[in-house]
């Protein structure tokens, strides 16, 4: 059995900042962030909106992509989100749990 698909995600925070993380289950992780049980950074920056998700083949790849995105300047993170079909498309929250490819399709 191969490794599980992992996801890198970007959240838009209530103070307009962006948070990047990775997980195996985006819906569960987003719920944790929204309830204040996520990262310390997001606890005081509610409400949170899922801005984009990128499927990765495994946890190691997700951690590398998360680190790469975190090093980007804000304008480049926003450009990734805005591209929709590019490196970090924004899915509907329901589609996130079903994604199994290299990228999740953008939502409206």
Per residue in 33-83, pLDDT (tens digit) is 999 999 999 999 999 999 999 999 999 999 999 999 999 999 999 999 988
The answer to the question of residue 108 being in a domain is no
| Domain enclosing residue 91, as ranges | 6-96
- Give the whole-angstrom CA distance, residue 96 versus residue 90: 9
pLDDT at 83: 83
| Domain membership flag for residue 105 | no
Residue 102 included in any domain: no
CATH of the domain at 77: 3.40.1440.10
d(CA 33, CA 106): 22
> What is 12-43 written as a DSSP string?
E-TTS-EEEEEES-HHHHHHHHHTT-S-HHHH
Residue 78 lies in a domain: yes
The predicted structure's pLDDT at residue 2: 63
6-23 per-position pLDDT tens digit = 999 999 999 999 999 999
pLDDT-derived band at 1 (thresholds 50, 70, 90) equals low
Whether 86 is in a domain gets the answer yes
Total tally of structural domains belonging to the chain: 1
């Amino acid at each position: 059995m191969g490794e599980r698909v992992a996801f890198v995600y970007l959240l838009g925070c209530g103070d307009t900042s962006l948070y990047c993380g990775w997980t195996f289950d985006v819906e569960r992780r987003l719920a944790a962030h929204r309830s204040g049980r996520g990262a310390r950074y997001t606890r005081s920056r509610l409400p949170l909106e899922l801005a984009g998700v990128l499927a990765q083949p495994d946890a190691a790849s997700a951690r590398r992509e998360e680190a790469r995105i975190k090093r980007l300047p804000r304008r480049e993170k926003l450009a990734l989100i805005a591209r929709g079909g590019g490196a970090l498309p924004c899915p509907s929250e329901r589609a996130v749990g079903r994604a199994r490819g290299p990228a999740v399709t953008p939502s409206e």
